[in-house]
Chains A and B, each alone.
Chain A
Amino acid sequence: MVKHTAIISFLITFLAGVAAILVFPYYTINPGVLIEDHLNLQNDCFACHSLGQGALTQKCISCHKIPDIGIITTAGASKVPENLKSSTLHQSIINIQCFDCHTEHNGLSRENATLNFTHNLLPEDLLNTCVKCHADKKPADDLHKTINADCSNCHQTDQWQRVEFKHELIGNKVNNCSGCHRSVMPAGDFHKLLPAVMQCKECHNTNAWKPSHFKHELLGNKKNECRSCHEYKKPDDALHNGIGKSIQCVQCHTTDKWKPSTFDHTKYFRFDNNHPSNCSDCHNINKTFETYTCYNCHEHTPARIEREHLKEGIRNFSNCGECHRSGEKKEAEGRERKRRRGDKDNN
């Protein structure tokens, strides 16, 4: 009984299915909606399909003549406007089946019908001549106006935005950095200070913008204006805070190396046990290191100093350091003798 029921069920279902397929093929076996232009073929499966072979190229091109693609419709009318991109593409490709790029039953949209397209299917000459298809997409900026090489030199078909730009492509314009990079030029004081004739390449290179290879010599006579760029690096200590603007950084520092500085106090005064390096002992006027005084201890009272110098016939003794570069009296006497001889040597 079950056996008979099974056989009858099978036959009824199968035959009903076959009948339904024959009467309503689009609804019964169509795996998805055809593109809008092919909707008139929706019940004529064999317009595109061949038994056991799928949708053969021969059937496609029987309607879509390759020389006409993009120019003339399948109905014989001229396309307005002509799709030259499509025309170029289809006339350039060889040994490719339509179904390599095109698919159907994927919805009404034409975009969905070409989802299988990949640039790898294109012949090499077309693959390396992007503008043949994408001329309209070439940006109108200065960079792209400059370049005549093919897009594939910098761009890749799978990731258009991942650009590997090579500066050599722009020929001798490679030296005109600001032609492209003006917007990224820092607006800080440093770059403003640079001479107008100076080229970016003198510090930067095209492989990597940073690090730059700056040389202070490039600044010409402005290279001594350290504060223009390095003011923020000035240490916030008693020494530097006591230095007025009349003293230039280069008097102690060099452009090669900021530290150690070349400042040598012995050039002005040599410390010893009686004269320790306690800054405020001498530099106690207006908290500046530009001025000093020796009249701060019992040894050097103004009256005593005046008396001793006048005794030696020295009338100009207001600038102690001119002669006294240490606590040694003899060194000062030697300088005084030289001064009297009119020797201008300060050392």
Chain B
Amino acid sequence: MILNFTFKKALPLILIYLALFASAAVLHFFLNTAGFKWLLRYLGIAGTLLILFSFIYSLRKRKIIPFGKPKFLLQFHEAMAWSGAVLILAHSGIDFEAVIPRAAVFAMLIVVASGLTGKYLLKNAREDIKSKREELKAKNLSGEEIEKELFSLSLLADKMQMWRSVHIPLTVIFAAFALLHIIITLLFWRW
């Protein structure tokens, strides 16, 4: 029962991940057959810019920028990063020979999977807190006592901190491979 319930919650995220591959394949096929193959080369730039744009959320979270609602910016981060990943995956279909760009693509796919895992954990943790609150309310504790109890549990903070310690290093590994690919392209490509 618990397993079924968990899978049910994870299913939308799995579908979002699969949609990433499907969208990239469709985009690649369309551009290839419609005579816009050359455009695939520039999708890498567009995808990278979208992903960089998505980091506005990270800047807000670290209070480097003071504006924007974190909840909205998190959704923005998810959407931009997913869209950027679609463009980069379509772009990667041109040549898939060299190790560095190949590693960058694999790292990107792992980061997207990690991001979706974080989304799942966040949703799960919020539901844990909600059920814990209900449980404490049933014990007739005051509102202040409930919040105090929940804070001490630090359910959400603990889980997400653990997840971040994986997601962020994965992201920078992707960034390192992507940066190497960009530098190599700038050096060897005819612009």
Contacts and interface: CB of A to CB of B under 8 A. Distances in A.
A20 B100 contact: yes
A30 B180 contact: no
B172 A10 contact: yes
Interface residues on A, range: 20 to 34
Nearest to A106: B95
A62 interface: no
A49 interface: yes
Contact of B95 (A18, A20, A32): A32
B165 A17 contact: no
A10 B175 contact: yes
B98 A31 contact: yes
Contact of B98 (A10, A27, A99): A27
A11 B188 CA distance: 23
Interface in A25-80: 27-33, 45, 49, 51-55
A14 B168 contact: no
A13 B177 contact: yes
A314 B187 CA distance: 125
Given A2-B168, A51-B187, A30 B98 contact: yes
A24 B98 CA distance: 10
Interface residues of B, number: 28
Main secondary structure of the interface of B (DSSP, over half): helix
Interface string B44-71: 0000000000000000000000000000
Given A1-B165, A17-B180, A49 B188 contact: yes
B190 interface: yes
A29 B168 contact: no
A33 B97 contact: yes
B95 A9 contact: no
Given A5-B168, A30-B98, A54 B189 contact: yes
A21 interface: yes
Contacts of B95: 31-32, 105
B179 A20 contact: no
Contacts of A1: 165
B191 interface: yes
Given A5-B169, A10-B173, A52-B191, A20 B99 contact: yes
Interface in B132-191: 161, 164-165, 168-169, 171-173, 175-177, 179-180, 184, 186-191
Interface of B: 94-95, 97-101, 103, 161, 164-165, 168-169, 171-173, 175-177, 179-180, 184, 186-191
- 6 residue pairs, one from A and one from B, having the closest CB atoms: A54-B190, A13-B176, A31-B95, A10-B172, A9-B169, A14-B176
